[in-house]
Structure 1
Amino acid sequence: MKKRFLFAGALGLMLSFNASAQDATAMKYASTITAADLEKHLSILASDEMEGRDTGAKGQKMAAEYLANFYSGLGLKGPVDGSYFQKFNLSSVSYPNISLTVGKQKLVNNEDFIFIGDADMTKVAKTDLVFLGLANEENLKKVDVKGKLVGLWAVGSRAQTVVPEVMNAGAAGIVIVTMEGQANFDRMANWYKSLSTRGRLGFEQPTKQEPIFLVSTEKMGALFETPVEILKEAAKNNPESIKSQKVSYQVKKQNKPVPTENVLAFLEGTDKKEEVLVISSHYDHTGIDSQGRINNGADDDGSGTVSVMEIAEAFATAAKDGFKPKRSILFLNVTGEEKGLLGSEYYSNNPIFPLENTVNNINIDMVGRIDYEYQDAENQDYIYVIGSEMLSSHLKVINEYNNITYTNLILDYRYDAEDDPNRFYYRSDHYNFAKHNIPVIFFFNGVHDDYHQHTDTVDKIEFPLMTKRAKLIFHTAWDLANREQRTPVDGTNTRLDR
């Protein structure tokens, strides 16, 4: 507590002298970050030609080449044995044949149910579908789940938190409901339908025989021929009162390798060159949807990627003029974020520079738009800041100081709460640095109607505001790269489980 008060006082002192504390050199190179340049690069990366930059697809490869050529033109080094590409293989898993029949109801994949588990079966399994409701010890005493397909009522829960206990109790598989409303289910079903043609990407893993079928609340009621309200009550108190159903199902699996790559550019520092600041974004997006529409991903995360490019240009220009940073800087554009933070996971598990020498990660994911919260605000000069005070007591203070000194944005911390229901902290690439106890700061503009839609296009980007946000990030990075002491790791990571 005493340390917190000391830093609050230090911040107040720094802010009171902000006018005289402006660094003319930093301001000179921050001015190279322009709305025109951001728009020029984004108009290419988020064009239809890039086909939505889906991981492993042609458009993602084209985007990677564009980034590498840009960094080469700046004179930045390719740190992967002379290359800008950190290449690796992902595994594309698809399930070309999935069948599920309950009683006389033959269900349709990605319409009546979504397959969210993993399995590879040589023949059709036949058993009972029993209703367990809540996955707790009391209900497991009331319902025999061994060898059965088990109905779980888990509205508001994440499947991965409730499935293991039931599978460990001997269940053959699970039919689960996790969300209210048919519309929510239908949106997810459409997304899975778009994945069905190209598979789910991830790192290759042994097959788990865990057939798990996600259904809507309404469909769960239909499967058990019971009104939804009765199922809700039975889930809590008397799941054994719900009659079981005969069920048959089969899942067949295919697996193929998908080559992809992170893009890395390196600027070596001077007297503290062994220490590395990582500035990251993900340059992939979700490709082409099931209706053939291109998801350009202008905000998500074309905006973050071109911000990294402009920040890299500012540092490279300064270096050419004789103002190299004390610490080294790695500009890291990762792939596979939309598939589960895969590119940053690969880098953090296979770092080009030792993680113990990585002082901070600044992650930029969606900084080009105005969200629901600010769309009607009088002052729309804001940015959400996430994760900045969890691992280091200094990082938030440094960012706030640079903001009040140079950019005067509203720094909004509402999504930094540990109980944030949106779980934004867990949904971008800084997570894979923080889990290794590297202090992180994540910049984010919030969500809008075009999030993950084909309507996330360049014409909707707020380039003047995006420029101001990029300049704040540059100033914070300049400070972190040049200050005498690296930010201490004096906090505890309380958010390890995604």
Structure 2
Amino acid sequence: MKKRVLIASVLGLFLAIKGQAQDATALKYAATITAQDLERHLTYIASDELEGRDTGEKGQKLAAEYLANFYKDLGLKGPVEGSYFQKFNLSSVSYPEVNLTVGKQKLVQNEDFIFIGDANMSRLKRTDLVFLGLANEENLKKVDVKDKLVGLWAIGSRAQTVVPEVMQAGAAGIVIVTMEGQANFDRMANWYKSLSGKGRLGFEQPTKQEPIFLVSSEKMSTLFQTPVEILKEAAKNNPESIPSQKVSYLVKKQNKVVPTENVMAFLEGTDKKEEVLVISSHYDHVGINSKGEINNGADDDGSGTVAVMEIAEAFAMAAKDGFRPRRSILFLNVTGEEKGLLGSEYYSNHPIFPLENTVNNINIDMVGRIDYEYQDAENQEYIYVIGSEMLSSHLKVINEYNNITYTNLILDYRYDAEDDPNRFYYRSDHYNFAKHNIPVIFFFNGVHDDYHQPTDTVDKIEFPLMTKRTKLIFHTAWDLANRENRTPVDGTNNRGER
């Protein structure tokens, strides 16, 4: 740690001595990034015609064509054997029939329980529902879980962290509580209900016979006919004291292939062309909700998508005028982010350019709005910066230098903490580059009332501020693409798995 601080300090001192000398060439092409152009592109990308750009759907395809045609007009290359599309298939998994009956209570899906597991059964299974409480070794010695449906009291935990050990102990399935309060559960149940007709998108995988049912703490109390407070105590000390219940359940699964595509354009560099800078955004959104309302996704992530377009245009114009970058640049608009960072995961597993030659990823996800934290601030010219100093001691300093030199935004690092409860670091596409030890920097404006709502529309975008943010990203990219040495990987990825 001391070494990294020293390196950053020396680099900072160097930049201070160098002074805030503006690069006239960079300034010239940054000036091509305008609020008018951003608004023009976003007005189409976030229009009703594109129906919320849901992955694999018509609107996502229209957006992909718009992006590809734009890059073609700029003279940028399609790097996938001449194409701008990296095509791949996802699997849409749905469960047309999920039944759960405990005792004489027949539970209703997305009201009494949410199905979050995976299974495909030919017939109804009957067994016991036993209470294990905490999924630890001591409790597993007290409760026989083999071939049983197991009740877990995992308040504050994530299902995937507590399920494996119980399934490995022989459980047939799990009924789990991860949150207190019926209201919290109801919000999640309503969200699952709105998605019930769409299926879960992901990469095709063998079926795991892991039926997992999420319930509220109150519902778990009802199922075991035991007050919540008693269940809480039993979960820690004596789970065997809670009487088991008779249970039956059935899960039927259906798979559908969903073709989709990442969109990318390539600008070859000069003397360092084997090294590649990736500038990314996701162009998908969440489509149409259960009420038939379009989620236009102007900020999320129409704003990042058109920012990448404008940055690409600035670099392309510079190249045409003889100012080609030293390093190559891949402009990457990924699909499937809203379904679990799927497009960037596919790219990182099937890279067009070797990952060892990928020097940095600059990721742009929501840069058009003002969030809760700044809505009443006197100075609202800010941007959140995430991940910039984890893997390289230089990247954060380079970005700060370009901000001081050109844009003078407030660079806010509050969401860059390892223990950020929002987990924003894990929720956008830079993650799939950082996990391969590629230094990343993620630009983000924070959340607001319109996040993932039909009200995330173009008329609410702060275009002058968005323009300034996009210019900062361009200047940082220009610097990274043209400096003598690539940013060193002298840090450790300490963020772990999603």
| TM-score bracket for the superposition, by shorter chain length | over 0.9
Q: 1:273 maps to what in 2?
A: 273
Cα pair distance change 1:223/1:3, threshold 3 Å: closer
In the TM superposition, what is the alpha-carbon distance from 1:191 to its structure 2 partner? 2.1
Where structure 1 has 5 or more consecutive residues not aligned to the other structure, the ranges are none
CA contact (8 A) 1:278 1:331 kept: yes
The 1-side partners of 2:338 and 2:133 are apart by 31
Q: 1:311 maps to what in 2?
A: 311
Decide which moves more: 223-232 or 245-254: 223-232
Question: Residue deviations 1:231-273, cap 9 Å, x none?
Answer: 1222112211212111100000001110000000011111111
Question: Residue deviations 1:396-423, cap 9 Å, x none?
Answer: 1100110111111111111111111111
Question: Residue deviations 1:151-198, cap 9 Å, x none?
Answer: 111111110000001101111000011122222222222222232212
Local SS of the residue matching 2:52: helix
The 1-side partners of 2:451 and 2:183 are apart by 17
The 2-side partners of 1:180 and 1:462 are apart by 37
Local SS of the residue matching 1:14: helix
Q: 1:138 maps to what in 2?
A: 138
CA contact (8 A) 1:91 1:203 kept: yes
Q: 2:168 maps to what in 1?
A: 168
The 1-side partners of 2:131 and 2:402 are apart by 56
In the TM superposition, what is the alpha-carbon distance from 1:2 to its structure 2 partner? 3.8
The 1-side partners of 2:84 and 2:181 are apart by 46
Q: Name the TM-score, length of structure 1 as normaliser.
A: 0.98
The 2-side partners of 1:214 and 1:464 are apart by 44
Structure 1 counterpart of 2:220, one-letter code: M
The 1-side partners of 2:7 and 2:182 are apart by 52
The 1-side partners of 2:178 and 2:16 are apart by 47
Q: 1:149 maps to what in 2?
A: 149
Q: 2:79 maps to what in 1?
A: 79
Matches within 5 A, 1:426-437: 426-437=426-437
Q: 1:382 maps to what in 2?
A: 382
Q: Name the TM-score, length of structure 2 as normaliser.
A: 0.98
The 1-side partners of 2:149 and 2:17 are apart by 65
In the TM superposition, what is the alpha-carbon distance from 1:64 to its structure 2 partner? 0.3
Q: 1:282 maps to what in 2?
A: 282
Local SS of the residue matching 2:51: helix
Decide which moves more: 182-191 or 249-258: 182-191
In the TM superposition, what is the alpha-carbon distance from 1:17 to its structure 2 partner? 5.0
The 2-side partners of 1:227 and 1:380 are apart by 49
Q: 2:300 maps to what in 1?
A: 300
Matches within 5 A, 1:337-416: 337-416=337-416
Structure 2 counterpart of 1:232, one-letter code: K
Local SS of the residue matching 1:388: coil
The 2-side partners of 1:38 and 1:107 are apart by 49
Q: 2:320 maps to what in 1?
A: 320
Local SS of the residue matching 1:96: strand
Matches within 5 A, 1:178-327: 178-327=178-327
The 2-side partners of 1:18 and 1:96 are apart by 64
Q: 1:10 maps to what in 2?
A: 11
The 2-side partners of 1:181 and 1:302 are apart by 35
Q: 2:459 maps to what in 1?
A: 459
- Paired residue total: 497
Q: 1:40 maps to what in 2?
A: 40
Cα pair distance change 1:197/1:3, threshold 3 Å: closer
The 1-side partners of 2:47 and 2:195 are apart by 22
In the TM superposition, what is the alpha-carbon distance from 1:12 to its structure 2 partner? 4.1
In the TM superposition, what is the alpha-carbon distance from 1:464 to its structure 2 partner? 1.0
CA contact (8 A) 2:89 2:260 kept: yes
The 2-side partners of 1:325 and 1:496 are apart by 33
RMSD across aligned C-alpha pairs, in angstroms? 1.1
CA contact (8 A) 2:113 2:189 kept: yes
Decide which moves more: 190-199 or 354-363: 190-199
Where structure 2 has 5 or more consecutive residues not aligned to the other structure, the ranges are none
The 2-side partners of 1:310 and 1:264 are apart by 14
Decide which moves more: 86-95 or 194-203: 194-203
In the TM superposition, what is the alpha-carbon distance from 1:459 to its structure 2 partner? 1.2
The 1-side partners of 2:236 and 2:393 are apart by 43
The 1-side partners of 2:260 and 2:188 are apart by 26
In the TM superposition, what is the alpha-carbon distance from 1:3 to its structure 2 partner? 4.0
The 1-side partners of 2:487 and 2:230 are apart by 55
The 1-side partners of 2:232 and 2:6 are apart by 48
| Percent identity (aligned) | 86
The 1-side partners of 2:298 and 2:13 are apart by 37
CA contact (8 A) 1:131 1:150 kept: yes
In the TM superposition, what is the alpha-carbon distance from 1:9 to its structure 2 partner? 4.1
Q: 1:100 maps to what in 2?
A: 100
CA contact (8 A) 1:283 1:333 kept: yes
Structure 2 counterpart of 1:263, one-letter code: V
Cα pair distance change 1:202/1:3, threshold 3 Å: closer
CA contact (8 A) 1:128 1:245 kept: yes
The 2-side partners of 1:322 and 1:295 are apart by 41
In the TM superposition, what is the alpha-carbon distance from 1:441 to its structure 2 partner? 0.5
Local SS of the residue matching 2:194: helix
CA contact (8 A) 1:297 1:452 kept: yes
The 2-side partners of 1:481 and 1:457 are apart by 33
In the TM superposition, what is the alpha-carbon distance from 1:52 to its structure 2 partner? 0.6
Matches within 5 A, 1:435-446: 435-446=435-446
Structure 2 counterpart of 1:495, one-letter code: R
The 1-side partners of 2:180 and 2:273 are apart by 52
The 1-side partners of 2:288 and 2:158 are apart by 27
Structure 2 counterpart of 1:4, one-letter code: V
The 2-side partners of 1:185 and 1:309 are apart by 40
Q: 1:477 maps to what in 2?
A: 477
